[in-house]
Amino acid sequence: MLPSSAFLASILAFSSPAYSVPTSLDSSAKTPGIEGYTTVPIFWDLPIKADDPNGPTATVNGTIQAAIAKMEADYHGWNATFQAQLRRRPPPPHASSISADQYPEFTDCDIDYDKAIGFAIVWGIEYLRGVPGTAKNGPGPGNCGRVSCSWKSAIWWCNEDNNEKELQWGQIADGAYYVFNKCETDTGYVKGKGYFVKDKFNVFVVYDQSDHC
């Protein structure tokens, strides 16, 4: 199920990187993390001026939402500029228009995790698309970092390579978006895993019960 441009615009209209979880979600979900994987921190080199991706950067860690909050705390007005940049971006392409080398070779929508909220996943995907630079994940296999989490809905990126993995943030966003399109239910919830066999990494979209998500 593909969100409309109007729906996406309404999502991006929010400016705060911190969200509250709806009380209707099941509180009996699994412990945060991806079973069988080592959880590693994610670091971001973000431009000190959000509208100048080629300017000086600051290194922050955590999810993209935590990174935005840290940049706003250190550089007042950063979040508003970042949000304005997002609203000027064109709507994302339909999954069918993404080239074959940008989506996972296999997608599993029946993984043993609870479902995330679809709009929160789309929100995270758009944040990831808006971040310049590259993502790095230490040598695997089995290294997994949480790159986005809001409304108890998380995107995880996992390195299955023996070597350090470096990708554009947009590649991770494309993987999550493909999973979203393949696995979202009619009620707006989604869970799934995209297997990038050739490039040796995975993307998970799952419910996450941890604090600050």
What are the domain boundaries of the chain? 5-13+33-207
The one-letter amino acid at 3: P
Proportion of the chain above pLDDT 90, given as a percent: 62
pTM for this predicted structure: 0.81
Residue range 12-61, pLDDT digits in tens: 444 344 333 333 344 444 445 788 899 999 999 999 999 998 999 999 99
Answer whether 175's CB lies under 8 Å from 150's CB. no
Provide the token pair at 199.
Answer: 């490039």
pLDDT for 10 equals 41
Q: Are strands 116-117 and 153-159 parallel, antiparallel or unpaired?
A: unpaired
Provide the token pair at 196.
Answer: 């990038």
How many residues are there in the chain? 213
Residue range 176-207, pLDDT digits in tens: 999 999 999 999 999 999 999 999 999 999 99
